[in-house]
Structures are given as C-alpha cells and as structure tokens.
Structure 1
Amino acid sequence: MTTFDINQYRITEEPFYQAQVNEVALYEAAYAARLPVMLKGPTGCGKSRFVEHMAWKLGKPLITVACNEDMTASDLVGRYLLDANGTRWIDGPLTLAARYGAICYLDEVVEARQDTTVVIHPLTDHRRNLPLDKKGELVTAHPDFQLVISYNPGYQSLMKDLKQSTKQRFAAMEFDYASADVEAGIVEKETGVDAGLAAQLVRIAVTARNLKGHGLDEGISTRLLVYAATLIKQGIPAADACRMALVRPITDDADIRDTLDHAIDAIFG
C-alpha cells in the first residue's frame, strides 16, 4: 500500500499578501486554538491568497477545494472506486486534511449544496472527527487540522446561503478591497508596473465599485486589476487592457459598459 505524502500540499515559496489591519494576528490566534474560520468578503479581494500566505507562514500543508453546485458529500470525504483488484477506498480532500493534519480550505462553500456542507459539522465542534459512513470508519482529526471556508455574503440570495447551524460553528473574519494606496501597492508589487499606472487602475476600480447595487452585482476586483496591469506589461495599450480585463468580464449592460469605458478614456485617453 502506498503511503500518502501530505508534504506535496506544502507551499514552498511565500505567496505575496499585503496585510491591511490585524488579520494575520487574528488568524494565528484562531489556528493556535484550532478554531474553524470563515472568511467573508467580495470576489477577488484576497481571501484565497490570505489563506495561502498563512499556510506558508505557519508551515502547514494546504488542501483547497473549489466548491460548486454539483459537489457531493462523497467529493469531500471520499468514495469506493473499482480497480483491477476489486474496490478500494479513496479519501476525499476533507478526509485527507483531517487524517494527515492539513488546513482544508473550502472556497466559496455556499456554492455547494446544503446537504453536502453538513458533513463538516463534526469537524467544527468539540468532536473534531469525521464519520466515513460508507467505510464504517470514524476519522479523528489530526492535531494540526484546521477547517477554513470562504464566501461572498454580498452575492448570496435567500435561497443560497449558509445555514445558521453552519455559520455559528466558525469564527469569522471580514475582508474587503484594500484602501486605494494599499491596493495600488499590491498591483505594483504583483505586476511590476509603476506606481502611477497602478494608481490609475485603482481609480477605475473605485468608479466601478461605486456602481455596485446600481447596475453592477460586483465591482472590479483586485485580481482583475492585476490582469489589466499584466496586459499592459505585455504591450497592450492601457485603455484596451482595461476594457478587456476590467469592464468586459463584469458586465453585459451597455449603459454600465459605456460609463466605465468613459472613465477609462478620461484617465488614459
């Protein structure tokens, strides 16, 4: 039987993360107590990068699951598979993290069906175990195991939200887009563009975020600003790069698109 190597999930190089307030200290305290943590905030504001940075800083393996509406409980905990010798059990990512002592990060957990998320409950209270009903095994969580989930509360409907019975099992941290100067510094660091260009890109993002709730479901994320700066570094004219990376991904509404295009022309025209 092949021994599973959890070290393949270790992050070997420091992921860049610019702290905004005291989130690093808060997370370190939560991890020290092995509290489950919920990260709340808009799309592309740095939640996933933060988890990667903290896993690197703490020296712990990180297993990330991108949740979706088709995900089943078996996708998380594991299943029996047929092979040449009959059937064998394959641990899912949640089971691997619990068994071997990794941080398990369920990204956009609200996208998963509510009956799927129930399987995390025994891992998020005093029991710290995971029943594998199909296998007849009870996995006791490794001392280093921690569960982290993220979601975007501003993007959820009443029909698609976490149950209170799930929410109240987590300590929660709120994230938002950084202040303009900090966000410009992030774009500059991530892409190598000059500070002036980074600041101009952030001005466009601020314009779009002010339209949230007035025709836009989501504003321009920090991630998209990095994309725009990357295109500019590739030699694409700034206005074209901004339309491609900042405007076209977030809206199909002609009026909103024209408003943002005008803002781009005012800055880069």
Structure 2
Amino acid sequence: MASESGSASGFAAGLASQNGAQARADASRPYYAPVGNEESVFKAAYRQGLSIVLKGPTGCGKTRFVEAMAHDLGRPLITVACHDDLTTADLVGRYLLRGDETVWVDGPLTRAVREGAICYLDEVVEARQDTTVVLHPLADYRRQLPIERLGVTLDAAPGFGLVVSYNPGYQSVLKDLKDSTRQRMVAIEFGFPAADLEESIVAHEAGVDTATAAALVRFGQAIRRLETGGLREVASTRVLIAAGLLTAEGLSLGEAARAAVAGPLTDDASVSRGLVEMIDVYLDQQARPGD
C-alpha cells in the first residue's frame, strides 16, 4: 500500500516547453560539472528502478551531483545525513505525543517512498548496520518498505529513488557497507576532477579569476600527492572553493589557504607545519586579488 504521487509528466512537459522556459529551468539547475559518464549511468539506473551507491572522497561533489540529478529528473530530493545514533525509527517514523493524542509521524525515508521522491542517505556507513537493513526490500526488485509499527508494507510510489553514499578511503573495516546491501545497488565511483576541470569548478563556485583558481588547484593536488599518515583526508574541491571564497573577500591566497585548507585538514602540529610550508611555496608569492 502506498499513497499516489505526482508523476514525472510535468517535468517531461517542461522539457518540451518553449526555449525561454527551458533557459529558466537550466538556470535553476544546481551547478555540477560531469567528470565522466556518471550522469548517464545515474539516469539509466533511476529509470530502471535500481538503487545507487556513490563512492568517493569527501568534498568531491557527490551531494551536488545528486541535487543536479534530482533537478534533471524532476523529482523532489530528501537528504539524510547519517550518523552513529541514526535508528530505524529515525528513517521510517515513530509515534509521537501531540497534545492528548499519540500520532504516527513519517520519517524521511517513508516520506520519500510515499511521495515518489529521491531519498539520499549521505555517508550511509555511519549509520548502524541494523538500521541500514531496512533498505534491503526497497533496494531490490520489491521496492517495498515494511513498517512494523503500523503493520503495513508500502509500495514505493512512481518516481521513488534510493541513493546512498560513502567514502571507502575514510571508513574503517568496522564501518563498511554490508555485502548484502552493496549488491542490491549500482555503484558510481567518484574522484577529484582533472586539473583543468577542477580549476573551472573553483573559479565558478568561488567567483575568482582563473589564475587564482589554478593556484589553489595546484596546491590541492600537491597535498593529494603527499605520503603522510597525519592526514586522514586530503584537500577536497570543497576546501579549495572555500579558500577561493575567502580570497574573493580580499584575503591573500596564503591567508585563505591557512584558514580554509590547512586548518580543517589536521590538528597534528607537525603536519600543520608541513602544510604551512607548502602554502609558503605554492601560494604566498601570489598577490591579493586586485593588487
């Protein structure tokens, strides 16, 4: 049993609308620059009712990618940031007291199933494995969500999609996606974009010139080449954009990189000193914007 949701026909009609309307729709699309064939794989999997797992490092664009795909497919997007304390009830729903009554309140996963939305579980392996098991009947051919507390099983409404993400390079073996979950999904691998593409992304998102974006990307790539155990994560496109935004406010590249890149990446004093030395080499010779 599942409530009916609006079909995607409105979006299809939008695709066939006049050029002016299409231009306005394109303008509202979340900015995402494709690296490979990830967009076509995602849309093919979605059209076939297949669930999707996105694998890749922090800050490489997985969330923005899902936002862009939801826009292209004309579906609402419900995002859940997973964490250690996430329970099945947090996803599915629970009874709550409202005044003198006890009422059932749907969780985000149930809302997506009823409404035909795309449900995106970000960093899914952070949730307990007994919580993620609830995804199994949704992720395979059944496309169903059992709600034991209500004694019902919901069929996913047309348009529903399940997308999860995680960073396999960060999580330990104790925090991994169960094989029984993984094999129900189509996998899309993400990495950091090539230098020229990453430069255009940083320039667009931070509103900086190409020289500034290129300098930040060179610095980010140098960090990614480091072989040190003191960094749990390398410089992501996200932190490079943050540094670019600070330079747009008048900070020098060195000042921006210390605040937005070196500071967030590590608390280890020796590693931090190494990053600052790299900033001196790669960025401190750059002038402030407008100089």
Using structure 2 for the length normalisation, give the TM-score.
0.87
Are residue 45 (structure 1) and residue 60 (structure 2) matched? yes
For residues 138 and 245 of structure 2, the distance between their equivalents in structure 1, rounded to whole angstroms, comes to 40
Are residue 28 (structure 1) and residue 43 (structure 2) matched? yes
Q: Deviations over 1:183-218 (max 9, x none)?
A: 011000111100011010011111111125543111
CA contact (8 A) 2:51 2:184 kept: yes
Q: Which residue of 2 aligns with 1:189?
A: 204
Q: Letter of the 2:241 partner, please give it.
A: V
Among 96, 114, 119, which residue is 1:81 paired with?
A: 96
Among 116, 122, 143, which residue is 1:101 paired with?
A: 116
For residues 250 and 167 of structure 1, the distance between their equivalents in structure 2, rounded to whole angstroms, comes to 29
Paired residue secondary structure (1:161): coil
Paired residue secondary structure (1:260): helix
Are residue 178 (structure 1) and residue 201 (structure 2) matched? no
Alignment of 1:1-269 (within 5 A): 13-211=28-226, 214-267=229-282, 268-269=284-285
CA contact (8 A) 2:123 2:164 kept: yes
For residues 153 and 102 of structure 2, the distance between their equivalents in structure 1, rounded to whole angstroms, comes to 20
Structure 1 unaligned spans of 5+: none
Paired residue secondary structure (1:106): strand
Q: Deviations over 1:53-73 (max 9, x none)?
A: 000011111000000001100
For residues 111 and 208 of structure 1, the distance between their equivalents in structure 2, rounded to whole angstroms, comes to 26
Paired residue secondary structure (1:249): helix
CA contact (8 A) 1:6 1:102 kept: no
Identity %: 53
Using structure 1 for the length normalisation, give the TM-score.
0.94
Q: Letter of the 1:216 partner, please give it.
A: L
RMSD: 2.0
Paired residue secondary structure (2:264): coil
For residues 255 and 196 of structure 1, the distance between their equivalents in structure 2, rounded to whole angstroms, comes to 30
Q: Deviations over 1:220-252 (max 9, x none)?
A: 111101110001111122211100000010111
Aligned length: 265
How far did 1:155 drift?
0.7
For residues 174 and 243 of structure 1, the distance between their equivalents in structure 2, rounded to whole angstroms, comes to 30
Paired residue secondary structure (2:198): helix
CA gap of 1:206–1:34, structure 2 versus 1, over 3 A, is: same
Paired residue secondary structure (2:94): strand
CA contact (8 A) 1:183 1:222 kept: yes
Q: Letter of the 1:33 partner, please give it.
A: Q
Regions of 4+ moved over 6 Å: 3-7
CA contact (8 A) 1:16 1:53 kept: yes
How far did 1:13 drift?
2.3
CA contact (8 A) 1:41 1:47 kept: yes
CA contact (8 A) 2:5 2:158 kept: no
